[in-house]
Amino acid sequence: MDKQVKEVLKRNRQHYLKKMMEFLSIPSISSDSNHKDDVRKAASWLADDLRNGGLEHVQILETAGHPVVYADYLKAEGKPTVLCYGHYDVQPVDPIEKWTSDPFKPVIKDNIIYGRGTSDDKGQVFMLAKAAETILEAKGELPVNIKFCFEGEEEIGSAHLDAFVDDHLDLLSADVLLVSDTTMLGMDQPAVSYALRGLCGLEVRLQGPKGDLHSGVYGGAVQNTLHAMIELLATLHDKQGHVTVKGFYDDVKPLSNEERKTCESLSNDEALKKELDVDSLYGEEGYSTIARIWSRPTLELNGVFGGFTGEGLKTVIPSQATAKITCRLVPDQDPAKIGAQLEKHLKEHLPVGVKLDVVLMDRADPFSMPVDHPALQAAHKALEEAFNTKAILSRQGGSVPIVNTFHDKLRLAPILMGFGLDSENFHAPNEHFHLQNFDRGLDALTSFLFYLPEYLK
Amino acid sequence: MDKQVKEVLKRNRQHYLKKMMEFLSIPSISSDSNHKDDVRKAASWLADDLRNGGLEHVQILETAGHPVVYADYLKAEGKPTVLCYGHYDVQPVDPIEKWTSDPFKPVIKDNIIYGRGTSDDKGQVFMLAKAAETILEAKGELPVNIKFCFEGEEEIGSAHLDAFVDDHLDLLSADVLLVSDTTMLGMDQPAVSYALRGLCGLEVRLQGPKGDLHSGVYGGAVQNTLHAMIELLATLHDKQGHVTVKGFYDDVKPLSNEERKTCESLSNDEALKKELDVDSLYGEEGYSTIARIWSRPTLELNGVFGGFTGEGLKTVIPSQATAKITCRLVPDQDPAKIGAQLEKHLKEHLPVGVKLDVVLMDRADPFSMPVDHPALQAAHKALEEAFNTKAILSRQGGSVPIVNTFHDKLRLAPILMGFGLDSENFHAPNEHFHLQNFDRGLDALTSFLFYLPEYLK
């Protein structure tokens, strides 16, 4: 890390933490209309803080929902531009009685800060801003151009982000997207992701007889819609855990030997079994646990229901049954193609006596970038130095929808450098954030901004 | 039919109908606490009517819920005693807007009476009472001893009937049980049942990981509880519709050739398909539709649920899944044995990665009596004369729980002589009852009382 930057970080640490606690104290719960003003208050606070930190063109930009906070620094002529994304809204705090301290009165204990938003994502938004401000203070200028786009609706599905980006394509144009809203692989194991799974969701509805029937009067003579659903859904996987839909794996790239080895070495089945309280893990034969999550597509039943769901029994032959399915997709699978294959499979395997309705729903493209992408290498180097250990080039099992938004609309390669931990209770009571990663994260973020121009020529 | 009885029936018809409409006007909805007083009012009305009709020892007997109306005539020394069962409570009337006339202001149109309870079961309760009263008026005495037990809780599962029978074993002792709360096979096709299916119900619960999981973060590496449920439930039937639980059919008596032929001749698949609005019927290979319903055991899923059941999608790996199952059982299957076999099957076929909990619930023994039982023959003869066509010795696909109650506690052979039709909208708006069957039913019921002593010596 640059020596002057290091000094400023050290000098400002207490001040930064004090300011961060101010920011965390604003209950910016985006899903709760009672907190609408608080969300806006957090946006104002953030805008003021960016302005005070020396950033320019600070604006609170309206959307149909909560606003976006924008700021930039564009004086690094001829240098790449980094668009920083994060969100200043937070999850609700229920069940409040499970918190051991007030979610909006952050406290520090044993170098861990407790409070709603500490890890997801106000703490990390604050770090992105401070990374730029620290360099400005230390050097009087930034080694790159930087733009901040902090939204207030991530926890409610980024409802208006797509429209916002469409309306501000020029304002947001950049060379790289920097996102601090993900987790590390472990306390001392930084990672930067080069691939995300996509999604293809659908709802399967079966209609049998025109109404629920008495199982005594009709039982045995007419298709039970739930039996048909079970029979149909049972055709989707084989005994080895593979998806049996024709063509499902056609576009899946095999893992390289190196990727395979990385996945094997990162898989800790005993720890996962303990975490989930299960006797055995289960998945596609021939792949390690991490390989299954990172690199293999899945077809998951997210919900199935039909017939009587109350207490006790009701001797009914259900007339309708519904299944909600999502597939996690990997590069280079096409959600539309998978959806069509799945619909075809369902039609071909439809049991007698029921009518089928398939409703294709959410879709997200899987994402991947070359592992030798120069921005990834700059991130890798910055992380390795900050954490004093080799960063892992990882994949993510989930989708990060905003990555697709910025990639599809602005062609931005995403650098996912997050400093949270899965164990830090984001979305749950007693959310917290390790200040050791606050320090190491600021180290990595500032270094990344310095290294980027070298790599991304 | 006895000539004097015939004359009295003719003379009293308008008076009977007027009285029946009075009875039907009382909204005795047992499930609705707002109608508690109306249920009691109906009991009082019925008690008064029985008393006025010449019956004796009329009593309103309390239970922990709605009362039972009792009356008797015990002067036919040396003759058999018939216990008549029916219920004076009715179903709710929702959705009220679908009624074309007030459910509690009965109207007669084209010899059909419309109103709640016309067919189920106040109309038929009234007929049982009038059958006895008519003979008393015509002859001054009855050819049999008769007892009435009319309950007010059939539509809420006869919650207190078992306890009531236990508390009144002597009062209710008899030789035969006469029930008018079932339907005929068609407008001109009377039937009397000699067998009923029994029941064995259970709930199957699967527990996977300790909480719902994010399908991106964990999908592919851990058992999806719904997948396990689908895999497990899919083992319960084979492709030919047979139940695959070991031993399930061991105690099932094969149909006689005659029964098989009766079932075949009564099966009208085209009509049933139209009624249920399905393209195909479905059931166990090798059996006609009626044989499947009357004589074959089933294993039906009544409800299945797990995971997300709201609108849209949620990318969750469900932690829990539940299935509600009931088996319809036939003579001589034992519900306890079937329950144990099923539990064993579920344990043996349990997929990896989930825990199983089986909760055995409701049970009812299947019921059958010899087709040459003398009381059945008396009923058969009475029906044939009244309807001018051969009555069918039928089975029923459902259970009639009160039959088990009276059979188990009082060893009563049941004669199920009902005069409703499946098409008469009992439990639905615009319930109605064909007065042609009111007339023919009174004919059959009175004749049955005359014939019984001849057969049941």
Q: Does this chain's domain B3-196+367-455 share its CATH topology with B198-252+297-364?
A: no
Chain A to chain B, count of Cβ pairs less than 8 Å apart? 261
- What CATH topology corresponds to B3-196+367-455? Aminopeptidase (3.40.630)
- pLDDT per residue over A183-198, tens digit each? 899 999 999 999 999 9
pLDDT score at B200: 95
Q: What distance in Å separates the CA atoms of residue B305 and residue A321, rounded to the nearest whole number? A: 10
A380-383 contact pairs (CB < 8 A, 24+): A380/A192, A381/A447, A381/A451, A382/A417, A382/A443, A382/A444, A382/A445, A382/A447, A382/A448, A382/A450, A382/A451, A383/A190, A383/A191, A383/A192, A383/A417, A383/A444
Q: pLDDT tens string for chain B (457 positions)?
A: 899 999 999 999 999 999 999 999 999 999 999 999 999 999 999 999 999 999 999 999 999 999 999 999 999 999 999 999 999 999 999 889 999 999 999 999 999 999 999 999 999 999 999 999 999 999 999 999 999 999 999 998 899 999 999 999 999 999 999 999 988 999 999 999 999 999 999 999 999 998 899 888 899 999 999 999 999 999 999 999 999 999 999 999 999 999 999 999 999 999 999 999 999 999 999 999 999 999 999 999 999 999 999 888 888 999 999 999 999 999 999 999 999 999 999 999 999 999 999 999 988 899 999 999 999 999 999 999 999 999 999 998 988 889 999 999 999 999 999 999 988 988 889 999 999 999 999 999 999 999 999 998 7
Tokens standing for residue B87: 């219920």
Chain A residues whose CB is inside 8 A of the B307 CB are: 301-304, 324
Q: Would you call B269 helix, strand, or coil by DSSP?
A: helix
Residue B342 corresponds to which tokens in the numbers above?
A: 């099923």
Residues of B87-116 as b/e, b for ≥16 C-beta within 10 angstroms? bbbbbbbeeeeebeeebbebeeeeebbbbb
A301: nearest CA partner in chain B = B226
Beta-carbon separation of B222 and A283 below 8 A: yes
The answer for residues whose C-beta is within 8 angstroms of residue A236's C-beta and 6 or more apart is: A243, A244, A245, A299, A345
Burial track B293-306 (b if 16+ CB lie within 10 A, e otherwise):
bbbbbbbbbbbbbb
Identify all chain B residues contacting A276, using CB atoms and an 8 Å cutoff. Answer: 209-210, 213, 218, 222
| A317 to B303: CB separation less than 8 angstroms, yes or no | no
Residues 350-369 of A with CB under 8 A from B: 351-355, 361-362
β-pairing verdict for A432-434 and A112-114: antiparallel
Name the A residues in 75-114 with CB < 8 Å from any B CB: none
Q: What is the DSSP letter of A350?
A: P
Two tokens at B192?
Answer: 């009397």
- Per-residue pLDDT of B81-100, as tens digits, reads 999 999 999 999 988 999 99
Q: What angle do CA A94, A98, A103 make, to 5 degrees?
A: 65
Please state whether beta strands A176-179 and A81-87 pair in parallel, antiparallel, or not at all (unpaired). Answer: parallel
**Where in chain A are the domains?**
3-195+367-455, 198-252+297-364
Q: Which residue of B has its CA nearest to A241?
A: B220
Instruction: Report the topology of domain A198-252+297-364.
Output: Alpha-Beta Plaits (3.30.70)
Which chain A residue is nearest to residue B269, measuring alpha carbons?
Answer: A221
Amino acid at position B363, single letter = R
Nearest CA in chain A to B241: A220
Inter-chain residue contact A352 with B237, CB threshold 8 Å: no
Give the Cα separation of A204 and A225 in Å (integer): 12
How many Cβ atoms sit within 10 Å of the Cβ of residue B414?
Answer: 26
C-alpha to C-alpha distance for A52 and B376, rounded to whole angstroms: 97
Determine the Cα angle at B211 with ends B209 and B213, to 5°: 85
d(CA B156, CA B32): 10
CB A55 within 8 A of CB A71: yes
Q: Encode pLDDT of B292-339 as tens digits.
A: 999 999 999 999 999 999 888 888 999 999 999 999 999 999 999 999
* Residue A46, min C-alpha distance to chain B (Å): 30
Please name the residues between 200 and 239 in chain B that touch chain A, using a CB distance below 8 Å.
201, 203, 208-210, 213-224, 226-227, 229-231, 233-234, 237
List the Cα angle A264/A266/A267 in 5-degree steps: 65
Residue B227: alpha-carbon gap to chain centroid = 36
Residue of B nearest to A352 (CA): B280
Which A-chain residues 298-317 have CB contacts (< 8 A) with chain B? 298, 300-309, 312-317
Q: What are phi and psi of B87, to 5 degrees?
A: -135, 140
| ipTM above 0.90 for this complex | no
| Two structure tokens written together for B152 | 């007010």
The letter for the amino acid at A347 is K
Closest CA to B65 of B186, B208, B168, B161: B161
Measured CA to CA, the distance from residue A396 to residue A399 in angstroms comes to: 7
CATH of A3-195+367-455 among 3.30.43.10, 3.40.630.10, 3.30.390.30, 3.30.420.40: 3.40.630.10
Name B286's Cβ contacts closer than 8 Å, sequence gap at least 6: B240
Spell out where A165-258 has E strands.
Answer: 176-179, 191-196, 198-207, 213-214
CB atoms within 10 A of CB B430: 15
Give contacts of A 396-415 with B, CB under 8 A: 396-399
Q: How far is A189 from chain B (nearest CA, A)?
A: 17
Q: Do A217 and B398 touch (CB under 8 A)?
A: yes
* pLDDT at site B217: 87
Nearest to B281 among A221, A315, A361 (CB): A221
Say if CB A220 and CB B396 are below 8 A apart: no
User: Cα–chain-centroid distance for residue A455?
Assistant: 26
B428 touches chain A (CB under 8 A): no
Provide the H-helix boundaries in A239-389. 257-266, 269-276, 289-295, 335-348, 374-387
Average pLDDT, chain A: 95
What is the C-alpha separation between B229 and B203, in angstroms, rounded? 12
pLDDT grade for A398, boundaries at 50, 70 and 90: confident
Angle between helices B36-52 and B3-24 (to 10 degrees): 160
> What is the phi/psi pair of residue B186, to 5°?
180, 170
Residue-wise pLDDT tens digits, B126-152: 999 999 999 999 999 999 999 999 999
Do the Cβ atoms of A276 and B361 come within 8 Å? no
Cβ-nearest to B201 among A221, A230, A313: A313
